[in-house]
Each structure stands twice: as structure tokens, then as C-alpha cells.
Structure 1
Amino acid sequence: MTSDRWQPQQPDKFLQVSAAAGPEPPLSRPRERTPGDARPGAVEGRSGAVPGPGPSADSRVSPAGKAQHGLKEQYRVGSLLGRGGFGSVFAATRLSDGAPVAIKRVPRNRVRHWDQLPNGTSAPLEIVLLHKVSTGFPGVAQLLEWLELPKDIIMVLERPERCQDLWHFIRARGFLSEEVARELFRQVLEAVQHCTSCGVLHRDIKPENILVDLATGQAKLIDFGCGTYLQDTAYTHFAGTPSYSPPEWTHFGWYYGKPATIWSLGILLHQMVCGEHPFRRGQNISWDHQLSLPERLSQECQDLIRRCLTMLDVDRPSLEDIFCDPWMQDIHLP
């Protein structure tokens, strides 16, 4: 069954926590710290405590204990939304104003990489990356607050009232019409471009990590647990979902961030308009593979998918090229 217009669905889940390997530190990590890089309107989380109205009356309680107590006072935690190798995500409600949020809990022993926030606070790399991209941009789920407990790292993230991840959104329809797919794909491209401009590489772009606000149609990129800093040199460690890894990683053990992202975007677009992953599970993609696409797809859509899934990474389009592609402009070539 296909859909040619926006059809709101019941919310399904917010985050699916990736079970892939953790992020690697880049070969040359940027260390700049910009004083003006704070998140507008966000609660400035601190390692070991949640910002609150004032100190606890019980001075015998540890800072982490106070933080945990403060968390329960500020949020009502609801059902489990997702669980994976990095931890668990729960639906929650902010008690002060009834706003829906998601609370992600990551065991401290699963945090492989730490860095510093602009104020000098040590934090897990995922939080540092979220801090860089959480600048009020609507296409990325905003980090509202975070805290450090003795055994867990807690992240509080925005969560639309009625939402569904893109995997379930596609599954409910079989596949998406080119019109609906184009609008959602454009938003994902804008989110990736925003992350790139912030020096962040997501590394796990897939339908499960794209949230659709069912009331507005806004797409949001979520789960930066596999993310790292964007670098110009090659990466020699993989983090993400193996079935979305580019052929250069599979065959040679290295990849460059930008063309690897384009490969995953090609798989994403294929899933949107075809309803399935272009490569069978466990399939070793050969250099002479021929991608078979449904005849119902416009030639422009087929061409864009094939360009993104070009085996040679230097032959793949850039993000700017995709924005200007005829299919993205809804131009039909003669």
C-alpha cells in the first residue's frame, strides 16, 4: 500500500538505541572551545548534578544522589521506548509544564570516549556532539539536559507529542510516494548539512534514527551514540550499522566521512521509495553489481539513488550536488 499524502499515525517509539560499536576518536580531533557555543534555551547540564533551584537541605546526600532525586522531582518517567547496546530510552513528562521528553540512560561502563564541553566540563563524546548540534535547529533532536550518576549517564531529549520513527512510518505504508519521500529526504539532508557545518559526523543514518513528528511532518535526526568529529582524513574504525557501511569499508577497511554518509543516504532513499533495503542481509556487494529498481519510480529518482550508491566513493555526489539534483527540485528531464 502506498501513501500520496501525509497520514498521521499513532506514535510508535522515539529512539532505537544502536547496538553498534562505539565512536572512535578522530585521528586529529578539534579541540577548540567557543565561549558562545552554549545551547540557547537549554538547561546547562553538569557532570554529577542536575541544575536545580538550590542546594539540598540534606548535606549528607552525595551530589549524584541529589541529582537522581532532582531528576525524579522534575520528570515523570513512563514506558520503555527502545533498548540496545548503548542503553535504554524512556518516555517521560516534564512536570513543570507537561512537555513530553525522552530520557536516555547509558551505563557509564559503555561510554568509551569522553571530551570537554565549552565550559571545561568533562562529558561523554555523545553529549559533546549533541551540544555542538543542539542549537535550536529543528531537524536535530535537542539535548535539554544531562547528568552523571554513579553508574549511569542520563540525557534528557526533546520528544514530539505524537511521533514515529521513519522505519515504522515506511512499514505502515509499504513504501512512500516520491512526493512524501522527497520532503522527508530534503529534511534529512538539511539535518546532515547542519551537523557537517558543526563539525559532527553522525555515522548511523538509517530510518530508525529519524523521527517523524506526525502533527507537523518535521523529521528529526536522533541518536548520536555512534557519532564522532568530522575529519578530512580517512577513518579506520567503523561505528554504526554494518548493513549501511560503504563498500570501501567492507573491502579496504577505511572510509571517508562525507562519501560514506552519501552511501547511507542512498540506502535511506531506496528504503523510502521501495520499502526495503537495497542489499539483502549478508550480501557482499560486488564492484560490478547492478542495482535493480522498480519501473514505477521516475527516472530522476532512479538516477539519484544510483548516484548515491556508486561503488567508487569519489564518484558519489556531495550534499550540495544532491540538493541541486533534478529529483530534489521535482524537475522531470526529457
Structure 2
Amino acid sequence: MSPAGKAQEALQERYRMGSLLGRDGFGSVFSGMRLADGAPVSGGAGGGRRRVEEEKEEVAIKCVPRDRIQHWGKLPDSARAPLEIMLLDKVSSGCAGVIQLLEWVELPNSFLMVLERPERCQDLSAVLAERRFLPEEEARGLFRQVLDAVRHCTSCGVLHRDIKPENILLDLATGQLKLIDFGCGTFLQDAAYTQFAGTLSYSPPEWIYHQRYHGEAATIWSLGLLLYHLVTGKHPFRRGQETIWGRILFPRRLSQECQDIIKRCLSMQPLDRPSLQDLSHHPWLQGVRLP
């Protein structure tokens, strides 16, 4: 890795940071300009190892202060890097539905991650805020993309742990989705997890009751919540600030197959939920046209 000062100078030669796009619990994301050809870009925290291609493209630059980094990992050269960077590096190729890490640099007090960003994009929470809910057929195509992205992550040994509308970008021009924000992620393991990371309202009941969960079963739960949110515009178990487990209510307009896949994902017992592979073979998800 280049010394931090040289890394910062090299980044400033290629990008100009612009306005703040948003914040999460780990860092801030900014808009910016890629100076090589004047293409508009977005900035966020992190640093990069892969060079950005020369064609015009928007990017997001995420800035993560060093003192907010809770989980670290070791690079092949034994240097330390934030776990988020290591996870992104593992999943950044082989699947169009996962955000690509283009490059990252280490600065004295932070890490910068340069990430791809579709030119016209909006996260699904903003889409739902405008439209309330999505027609079932549209939600079916989007959900299939999310499922494929999640299966790619698990095949790479990565558990995202924070699947929700805010962490899914929609390219408004193509309909392509991107799973983003691996700040709560970790490496996949067979044993139960005894520490929670993510959004509490998306946590599975086994965490609430027993403070432990298995990665795939918890992922299936969050996918069920996501799908219900897409087709109804709300959380199935939230009543104000409370989470009340019970019977899931469905609008009459939803097909029985759509209701079935949600019920299976939201089974209270983890062993009753389908695996990711079984879920991909559900009749409701067959014959979906992908962008």
C-alpha cells in the first residue's frame, strides 16, 4: 500500500468530492467529480486497489473515520483493513446485483472506498416513499434480483446482515438492482451468531428471544420482511414502535403464491424457513425476466 499521504494525493488527482448524499452508522457518502474526463461521480469512504476504468461513470465515495471502525481483517500482506473492505473485495465480481468496489485508500484518520453508482439511481425506501407499494409482478422481478445477489454473497462466504429497502439501489434507467452497504456484514459461518449487527426491526425472532441466530435462516427472515414491504409498503409485525408477532395480514390483490413465499420466509421457527436454494426454486420466482 502507498503511504497515506501519497494515496490521498493520488485520489485527489482523480476525484473531487462534492455534496453529502447520506450517512449511515459507519461513515458518510458524498457526491463528486471524476476529474480524468469530467464525468460526474459520487463520493464515499474507503480506499481502493482496483483502478477505475477510463470510460465515463458515476461513483460513490464512502468515507469511514478510523475511530468508527469496529471490525478489522487482515490482507494477504498481513496489513489491517476494515472488514467492510475485505467483504466487498470478496463479492465485487461475478454478480451484477452487488455493488462493485472500484478502489480504496487508507488516509491518516479514515478509509475511502470508491464504489460504482448508477447514473440515475434511487434506493428502494425512496421508491416506496413515492409509490407506497409496488405491483406484485414488479416486486417479483426486483425480489428475484435481490435473492440472486444474496446467493452470490453467501457463495463467497459473506453474510450481509442488513438487507432492507435502504440498502438496495435501483437503476431507474435499466431496472437493475445493486445490494449496497456491507458495514454490518461478516464472514459466513455454520455456528450460531451471538452478536447482532444490522437493523433491529429486521432481526429474526430467535435473536429477540434467545440472542442467537444462524446466518442463512436470519437472511431468509429479512428477505421475507423485504418482500412484504415491497408489496404492501409496511412492516408485517410493526404496530407503532412495537413489534407484535402474529398472523400475517395480506391484501386480497396478492396471489396465493406470493403469500406463500412470504409465509415460508417469516416462519417463527428458523428450521421451518426454506434455504436460499429452495427459495430460488419457489414457483412464484420462476420465469422472471431480469434486466
Q: What TM-score do you get using the length of structure 2 for normalisation?
A: 0.89
Larger mean CA deviation between 277-286 and 239-248 belongs to: 277-286
Matches within 5 A, 1:192-203: 192-203=150-161
Counterpart in the other structure of 2:219: 261
AA of the residue aligned to 2:80:
S
**DSSP-derived class of the 2:242 partner:** coil
| Residue 112 of structure 2 corresponds to residue 154 of structure 1 | yes
Contact 1:133/1:198 (<8 A) preserved: yes
Counterpart in the other structure of 2:61: 103
Q: Matched residues in 2 for 1:64 and 1:210: separation?
A: 31
Matches within 5 A, 1:181-196: 181-196=139-154
Q: Matched residues in 2 for 1:225 and 1:85: separation?
A: 8
Closer/same/farther in 2, CA of residues 328 and 290 from structure 1, 3 Å limit = same
| Residue 242 of structure 2 corresponds to residue 283 of structure 1 | yes
Counterpart in the other structure of 2:266: 309
AA of the residue aligned to 1:198:
C
Unaligned ranges ≥5, structure 2: 40-56
Contact 1:136/1:142 (<8 A) preserved: no
| 1:126 shift after superposition | 0.5
Contact 1:231/1:257 (<8 A) preserved: yes
Counterpart in the other structure of 1:94: 34
Counterpart in the other structure of 1:319: 276
| Residue 90 of structure 2 corresponds to residue 132 of structure 1 | yes
| Residue 224 of structure 2 corresponds to residue 224 of structure 1 | no
Counterpart in the other structure of 2:50: none
Q: Matched residues in 2 for 1:136 and 1:307: separation?
A: 29
Q: Matched residues in 2 for 1:119 and 1:192: separation?
A: 29
| Residue 133 of structure 2 corresponds to residue 175 of structure 1 | yes
Unaligned ranges ≥5, structure 1: 1-45, 50-62
Counterpart in the other structure of 2:8: 68
Higher helix share: 2
Partner residue of 1:215 out of 133, 153, 173: 173
| 1:121 shift after superposition | 3.5
| Residue 269 of structure 2 corresponds to residue 329 of structure 1 | no
Larger mean CA deviation between 261-270 and 131-140 belongs to: 131-140
Which string of whole-angstrom CA distances, capped at 9 and with x for unpartnered residues, describes residues 262-321 of structure 1? Answer: 0000000001100112121432444xx111111111111111111111100000011111
Q: Matched residues in 2 for 1:239 and 1:270: separation?
A: 22
AA of the residue aligned to 2:111:
I
Q: Matched residues in 2 for 1:317 and 1:101: separation?
A: 36
Closer/same/farther in 2, CA of residues 170 and 223 from structure 1, 3 Å limit = same
| Residue 34 of structure 2 corresponds to residue 77 of structure 1 | no
Which string of whole-angstrom CA distances, capped at 9 and with x for unpartnered residues, describes residues 156-213 of structure 1? Answer: 1001111000111122212111111011100000000000000000000000000011
Q: Matched residues in 1 for 2:58 and 2:13: separation?
A: 15
**DSSP-derived class of the 2:274 partner:** coil
Q: Matched residues in 1 for 2:123 and 2:76: separation?
A: 31
Contact 1:160/1:213 (<8 A) preserved: yes
Q: Matched residues in 2 for 1:76 and 1:169: separation?
A: 28
Counterpart in the other structure of 1:296: 253
Larger radius of gyration: 1
Counterpart in the other structure of 1:242: 200
Which string of whole-angstrom CA distances, capped at 9 and with x for unpartnered residues, describes residues 201-256 of structure 1? Answer: 00000000000111111001000000000000000000000000000000010000
**DSSP-derived class of the 1:248 partner:** helix
Q: What is the Cα-based RMSD across aligned positions, in Å?
A: 1.5
Number of matched residues?
A: 269
AA of the residue aligned to 1:323:
S
AA of the residue aligned to 2:140:
R
